[in-house]
A and B are shown apart, each in its own frame.
Chain A
């Protein structure tokens, strides 16, 4: 049972345009969410986080939106750059368990076209 789902395996966007990556989750106990970026042959690197008490968090070109009622979060990248081409993973955690472990989605491969 996949608790965190990224239904789009891949996405192509023109340089300078907005990239929108989506993520859905099923467990209403999740209250922290992260996005990671992964380049080939490297480990994932942390990008941005959001807690369930917020519906938006921004960091430069990256904004994460959280819709708790829909159990949906999205990552917006504006403007998209060729260096953003990577696989993006969303992840969710439920603090009620006290373990702070994250469940990851299957990833979306973003390709930014120059």
Chain B
């Protein structure tokens, strides 16, 4: 089982460029999440999708958009990248209420640098 797969693993962008971070899970989970990790800030929720067809804002949604393409895939888009978006991005998935007990399954992350 691949679990949660994120692409790309590394990316350097220039300020103002756009890009999409891809995430796919093969565990038939209903819920998917995008977090960013910054030094001293922990993991902060950007957007989440409780089930296919729904998306909601998290703690830090500004500057991002998401698409729940189907049950497997949840993408994160930066329309106009800014240096403040330099971070490590993690995608995660869970089986709704089971995630409360068993937690999320995380991908290995995308390290994004905006210059």
The total of chain B residues at the interface (CB under 8 A) is 31
Residue B53, interface by CB 8 Å: no
The answer to whether A74 has its CB under 8 Å from any CB of chain B is no
Which chain A residue lies CB-closest to B43?
A: A104
Asked whether, in the complex, the Cβ of A101 is within 8 Å of the Cβ of B42, the reply is no
* B100 close to A93 (CB less than 8 A): yes
List of B residues within 8 angstroms of A9 by Cβ: 40
Would you call A44 and B50 a contact (CB within 8 A)? no
Interface stretch, picked from A12-20, A34-42, A64-72, is A34-42
Q: Is the CB of A43 within 8 A of B102?
A: no
A62 at the interface (CB under 8 A from B): no
B29-42 toward A: CB 8 Å interface, digit per residue (1/0)? Answer: 00101010000111
A101 contacts across to B, CB distance below 8 A? 33, 45, 48, 58
A49 to chain B: which residues have CB within 8 Å?
Answer: 100-103
Contacts of A85 in B (CB 8 A): none
- List of B residues within 8 angstroms of A34 by Cβ: 103
The number of inter-chain residue pairs (CB within 8 angstroms) is 71
User: Given the complex, which residues of A lie within 8 Å of B42, measured CB to CB?
Assistant: 4, 6, 89, 104-107
- Closest CB of chain B to A30's CB: distance in Å? 11
Chain B positions 16-52 with a Cβ under 8 Å from a chain A Cβ:
31, 33, 35, 40-45, 48, 50
Could you tell me the distance in whole angstroms from the C-beta of A73 to the nearest C-beta in chain B?
15
Which residue of A is nearest B41, CB measured? A106
- A residues near B (Cβ < 8 Å) are 4, 6, 9, 32, 34, 36, 41-46, 49, 51, 89, 91, 93, 95, 99-107
Which 8 pairs from chain A and chain B are nearest by CB?
A43-B106, A46-B103, A106-B42, A104-B43, A32-B100, A104-B42, A43-B108, A34-B103
Binding site for A on B (CB under 8 A): 4, 31, 33, 35, 40-45, 48, 50, 56, 58-59, 90, 92, 94, 96-97, 99-109
13 intermolecular pairs with C-beta atoms under 8 Å apart: A43-B106, A46-B102, A49-B101, A89-B43, A95-B100, A99-B48, A100-B94, A100-B97, A102-B45, A102-B99, A103-B59, A106-B40, A106-B42
